[in-house]
Structure 1
Amino acid sequence: MHKNDYGFLQSRHKHHKRHQDEEFDEELNTLFNKKFRFRFDSDWKLPPADAWFSAPPWKVKELETLKSRLNFHKSQLNDFDIEEWSSHTRRRNPSGEVCWKIRCLVNPEFLTQAWTKFYECASSYRIIPSEAVISREMVSLHLCEAPGAFITSLNHYLKQNYEEIEWKWLANTLNPYYEGNSPGNMISDDRFMLHTLQHWHFGTDNTGNLMDWTNSQAIVKDANKLGKVLLATADGSIDCVQKPDAQEEATSPLHYCETVTALQALSPGGTFVFKLFTTFEHSTVGLLYLLNHLFGEVNIYKPVTSRQGNSEVYAICLQYKGSDQLKEYLPKLKSAYGTNLYSDKSLFSLENIPETFIKQVEECAYYFSSLQCQVINNNLQAYLMQNSIPFAIDVKKLRSVVAAEFIRQYDMRPLDYEQEVLKGVLHEENKVNTNPRYHRGSYTKRQLYAKMTLKEKCKSLSGFLQTDILNLLIFIQETIRWKCFYDKDVEIDTVFTYGLPLQKVNSSKFIFVPIFKLYQQILAEEEFVNVIRGQSNDTKLLDVIGEKLFLPDLENGESYNDYEKRCFSILLVSLRNLPLGESLILTNFATLTHFNISVLYVLSKKCFEKTGFSSDAIILSNMLSKQGLQILKDVENECVSGRECGTGTQDVWNFLPVRMTNVGDFFGSIVLYNNTFYRNRCVDYLDLLEQTLCNNEQV
């Protein structure tokens, strides 16, 4: 019998020596045991299928009172600068040294806070089903998983405790390589994903949008092809910094889609672990009632490494009774999947949910919301007592004790590189995250932005250009930064990627996202656009001899995929007519999408001696060969044939593997160029706007 199965209900770690200092025993017991378990009553019954999603939304008075109480405590933070407050709570976080301690003593693969949270879930509950232990086989499905730390954490847990299990996995998340996805809803950190793309499923439209039913069904189908899915996880969320009082309402539709997908994929006996927040709303209450019928055990758990001051908890659902239980209800579940029906109706009417279950939800909500309120109050008091030295010493000592207890309680040990998913690769990489979570100012100030005058908005946006997050970046300083990528012997094989046609560029892997967000925010103001429109962006490259190609602007109402392919055709005509030995100056050539980056990669590698990057143009210098034009001609043919034969639901996104274009000096040069180009555009636009607004005041 495996060591994790023998006497599991007794203490797993009683043979370990606990810390000598008993000063923090009560605090540790609270931190490591924030748990609630639902007690199933055999009298509870699911209503008939025709009653599902038939009643309007409802509220429970006691839950509404708890919600108001929590929102009152959270509202006390409205006027605090978010950066300053986050810095304060990080110092106050009892688990703040856990990752550092684990990195020093264990050095696991792709260690993040998500890594530690999942490891806690795995170690605190029997999430590996007995069938997996007996059969020595297991498939896991990870939904909304980016950047992938749950996967590396699971691998570490399995190798340390169940090494004999043959494990396969499939993951889904919003596709970071699709520029139509919003950076606010997507984690674009692809350090792990880039090396494991064969395990990632982005659905039939390649966007990764799990809230699309067709995508969900494709993921379920492919997961089941791997074998019995005995573990499903879902760690999805939505950036709610602009609506902290409505986090549960904002994220509930996503949690519903995660749950319905997992329930279809899981095999009997399987485990489902998913993130949720508060349990005040009818949507969460109904979902938990359903899960209590489908699993032998449902727990709500807040890991010690989950920030104490937030609402995040994890539902740990064990011993799945099987998808056969769902068959008669599946049409109803589908009808609300990713639709307005989920918001307009409740999964179950309040009358169909027993009072005894509601009471348990109230008990659960009271427990976790009270913990959060207490932490917020403690942090506020500590903020007002920042100069209290004894107070600071107590926190520092507690952090050290919590980190030591984490290592002890979960019996953490290092793995050999050969046991890791990527065999040590991630330990060697130092890739920069171009999309950090970054917000400025207080909640109150961010809400006031919409009510500001244009001059005040202009001043607020200009202030961002002076922040540390931009001042620490490197930009192109020289007139032209030359790079030699040319390699006549390099093999370039086209690998076409298709997906939902790109309507608008919302994100990009080739720019520091806060810069692009600022650029988008400027252009989001119609009055600003009216001032900017018509201004010349002509580039002045007096020292460069060559043909200048100024590509057209995006037309009003034109979809980006049509615009991109139109510019591509214009570029190809110029390249075919360009004599060998000549240079081409590209202006207005957008370098935010994988399609255009792949075009530039082919030209830089196969056609031109060197590539120059200025602050506002790209120079392809000295055409040595037209060999690469045949590759681009094939791409053009594929784009045309796809449009002629297709239904308009698929388009060519890319034709080179991202592992070719998104690494090394070429990738770094593109990011540097985009950072410089869009930062300078923002500076120019804001200077122009400020000058125009001042002139208007004087008239």
Structure 2
Amino acid sequence: MATKTNGFGIKRDFDGMLNAQLPKSFGSSSCSFHHKESRNDPSLESLVDSLFNKQFIIDNTNFKIPESKTIFTENPWIVPELLTIKAELNDVKNKLNDYDLAEWHQHTRRRNKAGDVQWRLKKEIDPEFLTQAWSKFYENASVFPLIPKIAIQTKKMVSVHLCEAPGAFVTSLNHWLKLNAPSVEWDWVATTLNPYYEGNPNSCMISDDRFIISSLDHWCFGTDYTGNLMSFKNMENLVGIARKKGDVLLVTADGSIDCTNDPGEQESIVAPLQFCEAVTALKLLSTHGSLLLKMFTIFEHQSLCLVYFLSCLFEKVFINKPVTSKEGNSETYLVCLDYRGQAFAGAHLDVLTDCYEKRTNKSMFCQRDLPEDFVQQMISCGQFFKNYQSKVILNNIESYHCGGDKGHLDNEVKRIKYLVANKFIAEYRLKKLNGENSEVVGKTKLGCIHTINSDSRIPNGSYNERRLVDSLDPSCRLLALCNDMNLIELCATTQWFTFSGTLDEINVNCGKGFSKVESSKFCMGKFLKIRNTVYDILDILGIDLPGGEVKTIQDYISKVARDIKNYKHLWFKQSSLVDHYQTINKLSETLKNVGKGESLVLIGYSLLTQLNVGILYILAHTFKSLGLILNEQFGCLIILECNLFNQSILRFVEEIHKATIEAKVAGESVLAVLPIFKLYESDLYASIVNANHWSIKHYLSNISNYVQNK
């Protein structure tokens, strides 16, 4: 039987482990073409094999969980050897501080040895919703028996996916099951920061929501609609929903937090989230279940304690860096197999659950309670992954300054990329599925969804350049941001819409209120980020811009809409603050005074939130037509022309108003009144996005003029 020995002298019987728990159709294989192509260059063959072999086994034979009464009682502690490794790694990372991130990412993508895997999968396998996350999950599931033996035997499994946006772990698991365990009856639940909750920052989310909106019934955003897993009530809500589906035998947790502004402390920044993910998984999993948890470095006491705790609760634990994980980052996956069960976790899990939201600064375990053997294993593990990451970064720097990829080095990289893609497809026996009926949602449906999914997560400029911009005098920074916006070309348009169909029902959603729009599915993230930053600077400078003259706007309306004889207008002051209660209250009261045949003009009405857009969509069904007018002088004006006095629509408005009052009493807020997919499908959608971009640019232009004139 084949065995492999890693760099730490630990023998691994992967073939035996896999064959013991997976169907006979699943196992290692070789690609004849790969062998043929690499036979003449053993060094390349050896290198390619090593890229698929970045794993560390934790020997947990003699591990014992510390007494529960000692949990979170000791002050933070350090392991000097690990902090030395951390400092050495950060010294290498710091060499990147002056590189433009976009250029650097383009360079490292070209040199990524697994860079051909994605397009080869797209070309030859055509998976549903293919992303890098898809490849990473498939690799983890193929190298380790993540799908437990009990699931294959009972032919039933429920999986739960934490921090799952945009959803590729789900489609990857589906593909794996269809090829390797097609008889398993599978159901799933996923959670992530809700992309439709405008209080969640863009920097914490992935903008692509095509899969989410196509499978909303499987997504749980918690009791407060935020999707924040670090909320205890949301965690309990998720556990309750998942358990009703059956035995949870797989939990994946792919969460992270944006560390762009402090990359050297990534591990500490992400640690509270990883703690919540792990506790949630332990409460979800049935005995013999598996956990796949994204980790980064394991230098600090938080990570050491968490990894040790999990090593005590699972029969086998591995740390794996998939070949498709970006070579130059610290990402790894903790693979935990065969859960010993909640009864085994006992009082420890109860104590950790009690500490779920406390965010204590104490260490989970006392340093003396972690065996020296475990600490030494972590030092060896940290050194191995640090050496690998540092070597990749330094090689990329060298090639960057040599003018990129030229000559022999370029040919070698291309050759390696080709061989890695060959090996990936052959080793994991990847094949096409039998049509879209085998997929979760279907590529056709995903391809028909038109939403804003193009925001780059890579910030502009280098790390040091961004720090320099942040240190500018507020006034200079304000004008620089306004000038950036002025460089973006947008067209002022006037568009009219008529909604002749009926609106059968509304769907009022309540949750945690927010005071500032941090994200929006009706505006590109870069526009919103500039807007919010400018508002923050205005607060620092104590500037409050004067509003426009109502009389001037009234004169303008009479010119552009001459057939509007009688109308009411409703003014909303431009502000960074959100008050859904006031907005709905003002609309409801004003509508009572708009008679049949009269019109309503909304000035300064925000179209950034799902709630406001939904209300406008509803109102459009009781007026003859809706006009969106973008004007150089006034920004965006909304004209609801000729009230048809539709009683059912007016009842909907009253229902929303009543729900708003009740939500306020309960300490919540009404956040949505129509399903998001209905708004996406509306003819209004593209025009609202354009109107938001125009309004932000118009407002910032006014700010720039006002500040310069002062």
Deviations 1:139-193 (A, max 9, x none): 0010111111100110011011111000000111111111111111122422111
Residue in structure 1 matched with residue 499 of structure 2 by the alignment: 486
**Aligned with 1:59: secondary structure?**
coil
Equivalent residue runs for 1:50-65 within 5 Å: 50-65=69-84
Q: What letter corresponds to residue 605 of structure 1 in structure 2?
A: H
What is the CA–CA distance in structure 1 between the aligned matches of 2:538 and 2:694, rounded to whole Å?
24
Residue in structure 2 matched with residue 697 of structure 1 by the alignment: none
Is the CA contact (8 Å cut-off) linking 2:25 and 2:180 kept in structure 1?
no
Aligned-residue offset at 1:527: 6.2
Q: What letter corresponds to residue 61 of structure 2 in structure 1?
A: D
User: CA 1:434 to 1:384, structure 2 compared with 1: closer, same or farther past 3 Å?
Assistant: closer
Residue in structure 1 matched with residue 468 of structure 2 by the alignment: 448
What is the CA–CA distance in structure 2 between the aligned matches of 1:82 and 1:555, rounded to whole Å?
33
Is the CA contact (8 Å cut-off) linking 1:610 and 1:622 kept in structure 2?
no
What is the CA–CA distance in structure 2 between the aligned matches of 1:456 and 1:670, rounded to whole Å?
31
The reply on whether 1:672 has 2:695 as its aligned counterpart is no
Residue in structure 2 matched with residue 403 of structure 1 by the alignment: 421
Aligned-residue offset at 1:616: 1.9
Residue in structure 1 matched with residue 131 of structure 2 by the alignment: 112
**Aligned with 2:569: secondary structure?**
strand
User: CA 1:427 to 1:599, structure 2 compared with 1: closer, same or farther past 3 Å?
Assistant: closer
Equivalent residue runs for 1:375-524 within 5 Å: 375-386=392-403, 388-415=406-433, 416-424=435-443, 425-433=445-453, 435-458=455-478, 460-462=480-482, 464-465=484-485, 475-478=490-493, 480=494, 482-487=495-500, 489-524=501-536
What is the CA–CA distance in structure 1 between the aligned matches of 2:261 and 2:251, rounded to whole Å?
30
The reply on whether 1:580 has 2:596 as its aligned counterpart is yes
**Aligned with 2:674: secondary structure?**
coil
| Structure 1 vs Structure 2 CA RMSD | 2.4
Aligned-residue offset at 1:195: 1.6
User: CA 1:527 to 1:131, structure 2 compared with 1: closer, same or farther past 3 Å?
Assistant: closer
Q: Could you tell me which of 618, 622, 636 is aligned with 2:642?
A: 622
What is the CA–CA distance in structure 2 between the aligned matches of 1:231 and 1:448, rounded to whole Å?
45
Aligned-residue offset at 1:434: 5.3
Residue in structure 1 matched with residue 236 of structure 2 by the alignment: 217
User: CA 1:84 to 1:691, structure 2 compared with 1: closer, same or farther past 3 Å?
Assistant: farther
User: CA 1:483 to 1:555, structure 2 compared with 1: closer, same or farther past 3 Å?
Assistant: closer
Residue in structure 1 matched with residue 295 of structure 2 by the alignment: 276
**Aligned with 2:161: secondary structure?**
strand
Residue in structure 2 matched with residue 345 of structure 1 by the alignment: 362
Aligned residue pairs total: 674
Residue in structure 1 matched with residue 608 of structure 2 by the alignment: 592
Is the CA contact (8 Å cut-off) linking 2:626 and 2:641 kept in structure 1?
yes
Deviations 1:423-449 (A, max 9, x none): 342244454405431411111121223
The reply on whether 1:367 has 2:384 as its aligned counterpart is yes
**Aligned with 1:21: secondary structure?**
helix
**Aligned with 2:592: secondary structure?**
helix
Is the CA contact (8 Å cut-off) linking 1:173 and 1:210 kept in structure 2?
yes
Q: Could you tell me which of 209, 218, 223 is aligned with 1:190?
A: 209
**Which has the larger displacement, 607-616 or 440-449?**
607-616
**Aligned with 2:412: secondary structure?**
helix
Residue in structure 1 matched with residue 222 of structure 2 by the alignment: 203
User: CA 1:56 to 1:441, structure 2 compared with 1: closer, same or farther past 3 Å?
Assistant: same
Is the CA contact (8 Å cut-off) linking 1:551 and 1:567 kept in structure 2?
no
Aligned-residue offset at 1:408: 1.6
Residue in structure 2 matched with residue 302 of structure 1 by the alignment: 321
User: CA 1:191 to 1:97, structure 2 compared with 1: closer, same or farther past 3 Å?
Assistant: same
User: CA 1:459 to 1:394, structure 2 compared with 1: closer, same or farther past 3 Å?
Assistant: farther
What is the CA–CA distance in structure 1 between the aligned matches of 2:27 and 2:247, rounded to whole Å?
30
User: CA 1:459 to 1:596, structure 2 compared with 1: closer, same or farther past 3 Å?
Assistant: closer
Equivalent residue runs for 1:78-89 within 5 Å: 78-89=97-108
**Aligned with 1:141: secondary structure?**
strand
Residue in structure 2 matched with residue 37 of structure 1 by the alignment: 57
**Aligned with 1:585: secondary structure?**
strand
Deviations 1:344-402 (A, max 9, x none): 11111111101110000111111111111001100000001126333223223322222
Q: Could you tell me which of 565, 581, 585 is aligned with 1:569?
A: 585
**Aligned with 1:76: secondary structure?**
helix
Is the CA contact (8 Å cut-off) linking 1:253 and 1:338 kept in structure 2?
no
The reply on whether 1:357 has 2:370 as its aligned counterpart is no
- Flag structure 1 segments of 5+ consecutive residues without an equivalent: 693-699
Q: What letter corresponds to residue 437 of structure 1 in structure 2?
A: R
Deviations 1:306-342 (A, max 9, x none): 110111111110011001122211332023313231x
User: CA 1:428 to 1:413, structure 2 compared with 1: closer, same or farther past 3 Å?
Assistant: farther
Aligned-residue offset at 1:16: 5.4
Equivalent residue runs for 1:167-178 within 5 Å: 167-178=186-197
- Flag structure 2 segments of 5+ consecutive residues without an equivalent: 1-17
Is the CA contact (8 Å cut-off) linking 1:609 and 1:624 kept in structure 2?
no
Is the CA contact (8 Å cut-off) linking 2:203 and 2:258 kept in structure 1?
yes
Q: What letter corresponds to residue 36 of structure 2 in structure 1?
A: Q
**Aligned with 2:616: secondary structure?**
helix
Is the CA contact (8 Å cut-off) linking 1:434 and 1:509 kept in structure 2?
no
Q: What letter corresponds to residue 653 of structure 2 in structure 1?
A: L
**Aligned with 1:622: secondary structure?**
strand
Is the CA contact (8 Å cut-off) linking 2:512 and 2:669 kept in structure 1?
yes
The normalised TM-score by structure 2 is 0.90
